[in-house]
Structure 1
Amino acid sequence: MSGDEGPRAEDPRGILYPTRLPTFRRVPAPPGLEGLIRWFWIPRWRMAPGRTSRQELLPFPASNLVVQAEGVTLSGPSTRASFRDLRGTGWAVGALLRPAGVVQWHPEPGALRDAEVPFDAPDLHAAVVLAMTHDGGAPSHERATSAFSRWAAGRLAAPDEAGRLANAMEEVIAAGRQITRVEHVAAQLDTSVRGIQRLARSHVGLPPLAIIRRYRLQEAAQRLRTDPAVRIADVAADLGYADQAHLSRDFRTVLGLTPRDYRGGS
């Protein structure tokens, strides 16, 4: 399966309240890196003095390498919704990592679960800061992603066999609404359930069922946000939930609110 079948940079999933975002861009990884980085994401903000903007996210089940003015961090896969409070003026340049990419920077993605740790990359930091703050030439987001891409290309190897299979696992789950069980993934990839479980642990850091549920929950949130007429029970049925109660339970567990409350606040 090719990388084109997974999430693309214009994919709206993951952002719970898009209208609250500051300036925000997603830029696809360039050729040669698409098997290692899904896309770059670049928010910029300028808040009035004393104002705070809370950005609420339902992150993709993946890790991110993020450059900000104060340094570089590697964040692992999350098990819950997250938020960042934006104040003053700032920016970030993040890379959403593919399963084949994250293991080249951290051998145990599961150890990063729900965590963000410093990442020693002074040359990456210097190049991206210069790109984001230098005035003139190409737009800052283009300069920054080009600098990030050059740095990554010089340090990452092409995916190995396990990395390619882990990427395919991600793509199958992300693209298929009908995927609701680990057995479905194993059947599509012609491998065992145990093999999928090992891949998910070693290359994502989450159980495969958690990855499946995160993508389905992202899709549910997107539909509830964009289609005011759709019934919550129909969304649950379309995404393989046993009933509306099971979808509501996932919403409460991960987002801390019901589907109805989320729709009302979007």
Structure 2
Amino acid sequence: MTSAVAERPRPLPEHLRSYVTRFAVSATDGAPGEPYTYVPDPAVQLVVRVADGGRPGALVIGPRTRAAYHASERPASCARFSLAPGAARPLLGVAAADLAGRTVALAELPGRVARRLVDGGRDLAPEEWADLLVRVLPERPSRAEAERAGLLRAGVAALSVRPGLPPARVADAARELAVSERQLRNLFTDGVGVSPKHFARIDRVRHVLAHAPTSPWGELAAASGYYDQSHMTADFRTLMGVPPRSYFTGRLPSTTPCRAARAARG
């Protein structure tokens, strides 16, 4: 199997928790040229990467709707900040949907906060960007932003696999939040970057990836919210490129160059 991307979670400063859900320092855990994989991930991510002779680059990686398999040119040191639902527009100046499936330089984005980060982070090591974010981000979101983010987070929670609970259907989640399905779709498109239905698919596959080594396939399918094992296999194949058994035995798609590496060099 390809190497996973090794991540070392770091404590998240209290000031950042309205905007960032996770902060980690990461590098590929294999030698240069060894394949590694990025699994589907619905979060918009700010990545500060140092490679190619020590040149830093600040990138934004949009929601990743399918797995990507890469061969690393060399291990790269980077800090990765997963943005909270609804944080892309106030911080980066664009809707999350405009970033889906894309990797762009932070300097190309129009948000005032994005410009301040670029200016303030030119000479900083990746892990020092947590302190920069504390200095640059507003102490708290506006009331309207906070209400919208709260609604989005509740929708994310309802559509996610939870211990002992299957994810809610989109119609039930909308009813629980007292919004229409159309309003929920619009909220997710702007603040998460994918539709509620696609978010739920990504979350189910991530649950399978996390629990497959310890759970029988049939039990895992039921716990993940699938109708049956064949439904799980079809969804997994669509998002990961191969069925579960192939993935976990190392029979994977061909690798491609890493877009983040190309964007950092550009």
- Asked whether the two chains share a fold, i.e. TM above 0.5, the reply is yes
Distance (Å, rounded) in 2 between the aligned partners of 1:264 and 1:155: 46
Match of 1:57 in 2: 38
- Once superposed, which parts of structure 1, at least 4 consecutive aligned residues long, lie more than 6 Å away? none
Of 20, 24, 28, which residue of structure 2 is paired with 1:41? 24
State whether residues 40 and 96 of structure 1, in contact with CA within 8 Å, keep that contact through their aligned partners in structure 2. yes
Change (3 A) 1:180 1:263: farther
The whole-number CA distance in structure 2 between the counterparts of 1:264 and 1:234 is: 20
Which residue of 2 is the match for residue 109 of structure 1?
96
Structure 2 CA distance for aligned equivalents of residues 84 and 62 of structure 1: 20
Deviations 1:207-226 (A, max 9, x none): 1000011111100111113x
Gaps of 5+ in 2: 51-55, 108-113, 252-266
Cα RMSD (Å): 2.9
Q: Which of residues 200, 205, 224 in structure 1 aligns to 2:188?
A: 200
**Deviation for aligned residue 1:160:** 3.1
Matches within 5 A, 1:1-266: 20-21=3-4, 24-44=7-27, 51-69=32-50, 70-104=56-90, 105-120=92-107, 124=117, 130-132=123-125, 141=127, 143-153=128-138, 159-174=145-160, 176=162, 177-225=165-213, 227=214, 230-265=215-250
- Contact persistence 1:179–1:185 (CA under 8 A): no
User: SS of the counterpart of 1:44?
Assistant: strand
- 1:161 shift after superposition: 1.9
> 1-side partners of 2:248 and 2:185: how far apart?
33
Query: d(CA) in 2 for partners of 1:82 and 1:257?
Result: 12
- The separation in 1 between residues aligned to 2:46 and 2:210, in whole angstroms, is 25
Instruction: Give the whole-Å Cα distance in 1 for the aligned partners of 2:28 and 2:201.
Output: 31
What is the CA distance between 1:146 and its match in structure 2? 2.4
1:74-106, CA deviations, whole angstroms, 9 ceiling, x for partnerless residues?
221122012443333531112111122112113
Gaps of 5+ in 1: 1-15, 133-139
2: distance between equivalents of 1:237 and 1:46?
Answer: 32
TM value normalised by structure 1: 0.76
- State the 1:152 CA deviation: 3.4
- Secondary structure at 1:114 match in 2: coil
Question: How far does residue 128 in structure 1 lie from its aligned partner after superposition?
Answer: 5.3
Q: 1:184 to 1:35 in 2, by over 3 A?
A: farther
- TM superposition shift of 1:55: 2.4
Given that 1:73 and 1:119 are in contact with CA atoms closer than 8 Å, whether structure 2 keeps it comes out as yes
Quick check: 57-66 or 174-183, which moved more? 174-183
Q: Comparing 108-117 with 173-182, which one deviates more in the overlay?
A: 173-182
Aligned residues: 236
Q: TM-score, normalised by structure 2?
A: 0.76
User: Do 2:60 and 2:104's aligned partners in 1 also have CA atoms closer than 8 Å?
Assistant: yes
The CA deviation at 1:127 is 5.7
CA contact (8 A) 2:47 2:79 kept: yes
* Cα contact 1:180–1:213 (8 A) shared by 2: no
- Residues 189-231 of structure 1 show CA distances to partners (whole Å, capped at 9, x for unaligned) of 2332222111111111211000011111100111113x1xx22
Q: 1:180 to 1:216 in 2, by over 3 A?
A: farther
Q: What is the identity, as a one-letter code, of the residue corresponding to 2:98?
A: A
Kept after mapping to 1: 8 A contact 2:160/2:168 = no
- 8 Å contact 1:61–1:77 — kept in the other structure? yes
